[in-house]
Amino acid sequence: MAQSIKQLHAQIQAMPSDSVKAIVLSWLNLSNGNLSDFERLIAEIAEGSEGYQWGEIDTANEFQPLSEEQTIASSLWALEDYQTNKTGVSGDRVKEWADSLGSDTAGYLCQNKVTK
C-alpha cells in the first residue's frame, strides 16, 4: 500500500462530500475492491483539482484568493443585497458578456459598472 490509512483519511477528510461519493462509487463499480485502486482514484481527483482556488476578481481586475467559507459568505451577501436593493446585472448584459467570451470585447464588458 503506497499510502498509510492516516494519509488516506486526511485526504478524504479534506475533500468535498460529492467528490468522496464519486470516488467510492467509481471504486465499487470499476474495481475488485482493491485498496490500491481506491488510492489511484483519490490521486486522480486530487490531480484534477490542483490549481483550483476560491477567489474573486477585485476592482483592479486582479484575482484575490478567498477561502471557500469567504466565497460562500460573499455570494450570500450578494444575493441578499440583490433581493433587498434589486441591483445587479441584467440578464441581457450577462448574455452579452457570455456571448463575448473569447473575443476582444470581453474585457470591455467586464469593466462596466453594475446598473439598477
Query: By the 8 A CB rule, do 114 and 88 touch?
Result: yes
pTM of the model: 0.37
The residues with which 64 forms a beta bridge, in sequence order, are 56
Residues in the chain: 116
What digits encode the pLDDT tens for the residues 14-49? 777 777 787 888 888 877 778 888 888 777 776 655
* Residue tagged 446585472 (cell numbers): 89
Question: Going along 29-114, which residue ranges are E strands?
Answer: 55-57, 63-65
- The pLDDT of residue 112 is above 60: no
What is the rounded radius of gyration, in angstroms, for the C-alpha atoms of the chain? 21
Query: By the 8 A CB rule, do 12 and 27 touch?
Result: no
